[in-house]
Amino acid sequence: MSLKIKDISSHLNIPVSTIRYWQDKFADFIQPSRTNGGQRRYSENDLNVFKTIKELVYGKKKTIAKAKQLMQLEAKGAKQFNWTDKTILLTGGTGSFGKHFCRIMLEKYNPKAIRIYSRDELKQHNMRIEFNDDERLRFFIGDVRDVDRLRRAMAGVDVVVHAAALKQVPACEYNPFEAVKTNVHGAQNIIDAAIDTGVKKVVALSTDKAVNPVNLYGATKLCSDKLFIQGNAYAGNQNTSFSCVRYGNVIGSRGSVVPLFMKQRPSGVLTVTDERMTRFWITLDQAIELVLKPFCYMEGGEIFVPRIPSMKITDLARAIGPECKIQSIGIRPGEKLHESLTG
């Protein structure tokens, strides 16, 4: 594709003068060819760069200097991390996040291997049949509470994505010892095993409920976050780095409110615990990309927090069942009206 500067202007609905200005400021990223008469001709890649600049400057209100810095970081990260020669251990790999993570990785990034580490034999069996990729997928039965099994599973692994946890707030409230064993002791086991086996990078999934927690699930994840951050000190000169990614509710994941509303819709009544309640929302695709980015940029000790939208649960209910009645049933033990991503 060969585009004139007027074509770029028309595609982006931006004045030609702005295009020229951006090209001067982002010369490291935009390098058009020249005709015999000296006129610029832009490629499709140049057009995509201009789109990125527009999104950063107009959409996200970044300064030119900040936009350039972000693009340099993005380019640096993309060049530095190559998934094709990496073996990944994914704990909790048969959950909603884990399955989608595997699908995205196999389709877009082609890692050397992904080791699925989880407790449920049936879910692993079903996942093996669904994916049908024995060349790149490995299935390990194991529990994050078992540090010896983790060490065996991490032998030869380059990076770890730790998604295993007891996540249901009511279940954790009713089974507190089990929540601590999985979410806290399990985190320590991941750290110890990663250091002992020489894993290079570990990213653990956190949650908005870990910020100023009022329930046991949030408290265990806060403790887990602190363990992973401090794990960088425990690693010493072993060259193992630990970071966390914190986000909110994943739309449509197993156990989320969206499948519940879909199930309730035929009855004409959707139940919410409190009409004032708000939650942060993110799609599975966004969650996967957020988990992958730290591997490009992490040095160890960071908690990566995205800027994601929050909405009222009643607005979500009305979007799913506009004709349905909304019934308040009261806040459950350990629930907040409003979550936070930072504290």
Q: Which residues are catalytic?
A: 209
3-state secondary structure the chain: CCECHHHHHHHHCCCHHHHHHHHHHCCCCCCCEECCCCCEEECHHHHHHHHHHHHHHHHCCCCHHHHHHHHHHHHHHHHHCCHHHCEEEEECCCCHHHHHHHHHHHHHHCCCEEEEEECCHHHHHHHHHHHCCCCCEEEEECCCCCHHHHHHHHCCCCEEEECCCCCCHHHHHHCHHHHHHHHHHHHHHHHHHHHHHCCCEEEEEEEHHHCCCCCHHHHHHHHHHHHHHHHHHHHCCCCCEEEEEEECEECCCCCCHHHHHHHHHHHCEEEECCCCCEEEEECHHHHHHHHHHHHHHCCCCCEECCCCCEEEHHHHHHHHCCCCEEEECCCCCCCCCCCCCCC
32 vs 233: CA distance, rounded Å: 47
Beta carbons of 44 and 11 less than 8 angstroms apart: no
Q: How many CB atoms lie within 10 A of CB 332?
A: 12
Residue 177: CB partners within 8 Å, gap ≥ 6? none
CA distance linking residue 329 with residue 189, whole number of Å: 39
Q: What gap in Å lies between CA 336 and CA 343, rounded to an integer?
A: 15
The residues that bridge with 260 in the sheet, in sequence order, are: none
